[in-house]
Amino acid sequence: MSFGAIKRVDKIVQTDCMTFMPQMGDSSANLVLTDIPYGVVSRPDNGLRNLDKDKADIETFELAPFLEQIYRIVKSTAIIFCAKEQLSEIYGFFDDKAKSAGGYSQAAYLGED
């Protein structure tokens, strides 16, 4: 069975993405899959579960510059797990980019956090 030209990923970089992404070339990533800090994960008990992530999910960056970098480096697909509170900004960003490029939006909302 042939898979054509397959590029091996042979290097994993563990660093701050906001430091590393500016070093990446335009359209250099086929896929971006990220689970950004929600900033709202630690919640009181709602009768179903008590989520206490302590400081693990504190929002520590500005969303707009992050989205600009994602848009610049990704070739085709970006999957961003986020909170409901971040969804409209993320969706609006990619929708505006598509419209300003003369295309149509392919942004999709697939569910809640």
What tens digit of pLDDT does each residue of 40-96 get?
655 566 566 666 666 666 666 789 999 999 999 999 889 998 888 888 899 999 889
| For residue 35, pLDDT beyond 70 | yes
Task: Please report the pLDDT score of residue 71 as a whole number.
Answer: 94
Confidence of residue 98 (pLDDT cuts 50, 70, 90): confident
Closest CA to 67 of 113, 7, 107: 107
- Name the pairing type of β-strands 29-35 and 74-81: parallel
Q: Are 85 and 55 in contact (CB under 8 A)?
A: no
Q: Where are the beta strands (DSSP E) in 36-107?
A: 74-81
pLDDT tens-digit series, residues 1-33: 445 565 666 677 788 888 999 999 999 888 898
Is residue 107 within 8 Å of 91, Cβ to Cβ? yes
Distance CA 17, CA 89 (A): 19
- The pTM assigned to this predicted structure is 0.69
Both tokens assigned to 39: 């900033």
